[in-house]
Structure 1
C-alpha cells in the first residue's frame, strides 16, 4: 500500500510538472515576451531568487564571459525596466514590440548543441525574437529609430546597467542620432524553470544583433 501511494504521488508530481511547463510556455509565447516592452512578466511566474544574466562569446569563439546582472525578484524587475527604458525611449522613435521567431523546449539536461551552457538541469525554453512594430494586425519590421553608441553600450554591457539608473534622461536624449532605415534588433532569451516548472529561475540574454535589410550584423555574440 505504501509503495502504491509513493508511485501515485510521483505520478501526480510528474503530471503537475508537465502541466506547469505547458502553462508557463504558453504564457511566455502568447503574452510575456511580445509585451515585455510594455510590462514586466506576471510576478507569479518569477521565482524569488531569479537570476538575470548575459553570456557573451568573444571573437575567437573560445572564451565565454558570464555577466550576472542581478539576482532576486526586485532587482530583476528593476533591470528589465531599464532595458525597456532604453529600447522604448532611446533606440526607437516608434514603440517596438518583440516578435517571436522560434521557440524550442528543452527538457532536463538535453541541450540543442554543445555551445549551450545552462545554469540548471531543469526544463527550459529557448526563444528567438526580433523587434517589430504592429500595423493593421500584421507584423512588419521596424523601419526607423534612434540610438547612440552610449545607449547601445549600456544595453549590451550588463555591468553598466546600474549607471543608466542615475544618468539624466535629457543628457541621453541630447546625444541621440537616427538609426538607419531597415535596422532592427534581434536576440535570444533562455528561460530555465524551477523544479516544478511553475516559475522562471534563470533568464539568460544572448545573441544580441542589429539586423539591416535582412543582412545580419552581429554586435556581440552571446552563448549560453
Structure 2
C-alpha cells in the first residue's frame, strides 16, 4: 500500500496535467493489482489507442520496479510483451483491410491519385522492415506502422521480431528512466512531449507541402487541358 500511495503522489504531480494524472493513477492501480502484467495490459491498450501516453506508463513501470513490486527485468519483459500484443492486433486490422479496400478508400479521397497509393505501397514493400523497426521508436507512428505492415502482408515472424526489437529499445529507455529517476519519473514525460510535438509539426508540414504540390499539379493540368481545347477549337 505504501508503494501505491507513493505512485499516486507522483501521478498527481500537477506538471502532468489532470488527464495524464488520471491515466497514470489508473495504470498505478493496475500494476499494483496484477503486477508487471498490468504494465503489459496498459501498453497493449496504448498501442491500440495512440493518444494514451506510453511516456507515462513506461516510466511508471520502471518506478514501480524500483519500489520492489516486481523486478526491472519483469518490467522490461512485460512491457515489450504488451507492445507485441497491441502491435499484432493492429497488424491484423491491416490484414483484414487489405490492399483492395485500402485502394478503394483512398480512391474516394480528393487530390489522392491511385498512383500515389501504389508508390507508397512500393516504398513499404522495399523499406517495410526499416519502417517497422524504427517506427516503433517514433511517437504516434509506433502504433500506426503496424497497419501498413498488415495491409502489405509482411511476413508475420519478421514483423514480430522487428516489433519486439524496436519496442524493447523504446521501452528500455523510458522504463530505465523511471527506475533511476524514482519519484521524479514525470520529468521524462515532459521531454517526450516535446519530441512528440516536433513529430506532429513535421508531419503537418509534410501534409501541407503535399497539398500545395497537389493543388499546383491539379491547376497545371487544368490549364494544360484548357490550352489544348483552345488550340483544337
Structure with greater proportional helix content: 2
- TM-score, structure 2 as length reference: 0.28
Whose strand fraction is larger, Structure 1's or Structure 2's? Answer: 1
Larger radius of gyration: 2
